Amino acid sequence: MILLFGSLNIDLVAEVPVIPGPGRTVLAPCYRTHFGGKGANQAVAAARIAGPGRVRMAGRVGRDGFGDSAIENLRANGVDADLIVRAHEPTGCAFITVDQAGENAITVASGANITASANDLPTDLFSSDTVLVLQMEVPFAQALEAARKTKSVSGTVIWNLAPVPEKMTGEMVTELLAVTDYLLVNEHEAMDAAAAIGLAAASYETAAMHLAEAGNLTCIVTAGAQGALAMTTDAAPLHASTPRITPVDTTGAGDTFVGTFAAMVSEGVPLQRALEVSCEAAALKCLKAGAQTGMPVRSALGSLA
């Protein structure tokens, strides 16, 4: 079973002639509503590859219409949403303005996400077959507790260190590494995490090696068009290329990689193969607009044919 513990958001996107500065107001002709939150994004990505009934999502939404929609969307994508808790706080929401040059400004109101609790996950939910996927958009202490529950029964923990907290400490990274089997980061996140524990590196490859050794884990770095790199403590580095494409929208590509990788881990796919499939899925996502709407289904992946 793939278990996602993380954030659920509703994204409100407005296209504007210029992003307003302090004290300014600009008008947009309309706005678009999208489903978001890294947790929900990764749950949808995993379900589209693993299939209905293989993915469960835990997190919190408000007692509002946005919460209703977020839960309905998960279920429509084959994700079991029975663990989602209704909080008194409103559903998380991201306010996104995009100007004519494609630059954006984003304000995220965490709302119910900041109340997410590891206690929402029943103990009998965890087993050696559990593949737990975590990010950094719910309280760190709660995600850490969920990881410890998983490790206590020999389950597998995949931790996507994104977004990197502004006040990430060395202690936080050390605790995270101790309960993680697969650390998934991009180039910048790898460098930030290594630096936080005093292992500054000149390249993300070196940072990944340091993190793998520090946590005795597999560190996977996604590097956009350069593909993905996996560093382990007992084997040579692995690399998978990204298919050459002309991207339409890269939003959600990283989450697509994480969700697909979780599906591959749950199926016992060898690491090199898992990297290749995940890179292809992330590239296919970039060919369509929208984070979740552009995520591929299993039948679209030639590498799984």
Tokens of 8: 């659920």
Chain centre distance of CA 254: 7
Gap between the Cα atoms of 13 and 106, Å rounded:
9
Tokens of 87: 């909080």
Q: Give the residue numbers of the binding site for K(+).
A: 249, 251, 285, 288, 290
Q: Which of 68, 129, 234, 255 is catalytic?
A: 255
- Decide if 110 is inside a domain: no
Q: How far is CA 284 from CA 180, 233, 256, 278, in A?
A: 28, 31, 9, 10
Q: Give the residue numbers of the binding site for substrate.
A: 9-11, 37-41, 137, 255
- Decide if 228 is inside a domain: no
Output the pTM of the full model: 0.94
- Decide if 84 is inside a domain: yes
What pLDDT, on the 0 to 100 scale, is given for residue 108? 87
* Dihedral over Cα of 117, 290, 108, 68: its sign: negative
Q: Give the residue numbers of the binding site for ATP.
A: 186, 222-227, 254-255
- Decide if 97 is inside a domain: no
What pLDDT, on the 0 to 100 scale, is given for residue 155? 98
Tokens of 196: 């936080």
The structural domain count of the chain equals 1
Gap between the Cα atoms of 175 and 171, Å rounded:
6
Q: Is 75:24 a contact under the CB 8 Å cutoff?
A: no
Gap between the Cα atoms of 168 and 40, Å rounded:
23
Among candidates 165, 136, 122, which has minimal Cα distance to 6?
136
Q: Give the residue numbers of the binding site.
A: 9-11, 37-41, 137, 186, 222-227, 249, 251, 254-255, 285, 288, 290
* Lowest-confidence region among 16-25, 170-179, 184-193: 16-25
Is 80 exceeded by the pLDDT of residue 62?
Answer: yes
Q: Is 76:55 a contact under the CB 8 Å cutoff?
A: no
**Residue 64 maps to which CATH number?**
3.40.1190.20
Q: Is 247:284 a contact under the CB 8 Å cutoff?
A: no
Is 90 exceeded by the pLDDT of residue 201?
Answer: no
* Dihedral over Cα of 290, 292, 293, 297: its sign: positive
Sequence-separated (6 or more) residues with CB below 8 Å from residue 30: 14
Tens of pLDDT, residues 81-102 = 999 999 999 999 989 888 887 6
Gap between the Cα atoms of 81 and 122, Å rounded:
14
- Decide if 21 is inside a domain: no
- Decide if 203 is inside a domain: no
Q: Does the active-site annotation cover 255? A: yes
Gap between the Cα atoms of 252 and 229, Å rounded:
19
What pLDDT, on the 0 to 100 scale, is given for residue 288? 87
Q: What is the CA radius of gyration of the chain?
A: 19
- Decide if 270 is inside a domain: yes
Helix (H, G, I), strand (E, B) or coil at 117: coil
- Decide if 74 is inside a domain: yes
Tens of pLDDT, residues 210-267 = 999 999 999 999 998 899 999 999 889 999 998 888 888 888 899 999 999 999 999 9
Tens of pLDDT, residues 140-174 = 999 999 999 999 999 999 999 999 998 899 999 99
Over the range 3-28, which residues count as b (16 or more CB within 10 Å of their CB) and which as e? bbbbbbbbbbbebbeeeeeeeeeeee
Domain enclosing residue 129, as ranges: 2-7+38-91+117-160+241-304
| Phi/psi of residue 162, nearest 5 degrees | -155, 140
Gap between the Cα atoms of 291 and 249, Å rounded:
8
Report percent pLDDT > 90 for the chain.
81
CB atoms within 10 A of CB 281: 28
Is 70 exceeded by the pLDDT of residue 33?
Answer: yes
What pLDDT, on the 0 to 100 scale, is given for residue 105? 84
